[in-house]
Amino acid sequence: MGAFAALVLFIGLRFALMPDTPAPHFNANFAMFLNGKRIDLTADKYMENVETCKPEYLDIQPKERTHLHNSDMNVVHVHTKGVTWGHFMANIGFGFGKNYLATDDERIYVNGQGRTIKFILNGEQVENPSNQLIKNEDRLLISFVYETPAQLLNDQYPKVSADAHEENEETD
C-alpha cells in the first residue's frame, strides 16, 4: 500500500510542478474534389470561430482540435497532438476510407465504374490517410475521379494551396 501511495504522490507532484506547456498550433493545406470539381467548403457550417483556438490541453473538444476558420477552406488548423486526417474530415461532416468518400449531405461515393477515391499527400499517392497524423505544412488532395494519380499530380494537386507556412508565421 505504501508503494502505491508513493506513486500517486509522485504523479500528483509531477503534474503540479510541471510547467504549463502551450498546446501545439500548426497548419496544413488540403483540397477535396468530386468528379473533377472542387468541393466548396467556405460556408459557415464548415467553419469554427477563432475563439475555439485555445491553448489549453484540458477540456479541448473535438472540433477545437482541428478545423477551418475565417472562410478559408484551404488551411487546416491543428491545436493538439495526435490529430488525424480522419478527425479533421469528421469535424467538417465528411468521411472517407480507401474505397469511399462520404459527404456532409449523406451521399456516399464508392469506388466503381472507373471512378476511385485517390489521395495525394505531399506529392505522393497514399492508400488511405484517415489514420495518419496531420503534420505541420502537410498538403493533402482528396479526389473521387476517373483520372490516374499521375493526372491528379498535374491537374489537381497544384490547386492544393501551399500557404500553411504563412499561416504558421502569423500565429507565432
pLDDT tens digits, one per residue of 70-87: 899 999 999 888 899 999
Angstrom CA distances, 59 to 51, 62, 65, stand at 14, 10, 11
pLDDT band at 56 (very low <50, low <70, confident <90, very high): low
The sheet carrying 108-110 orders its strands as 95-97, 100-102, 108-110
- Please say if the pLDDT value at position 131 is more than 80: yes
Residue 45 has pLDDT above 60, yes or no: yes
Phi/psi of residue 140, nearest 5 degrees: -120, 130
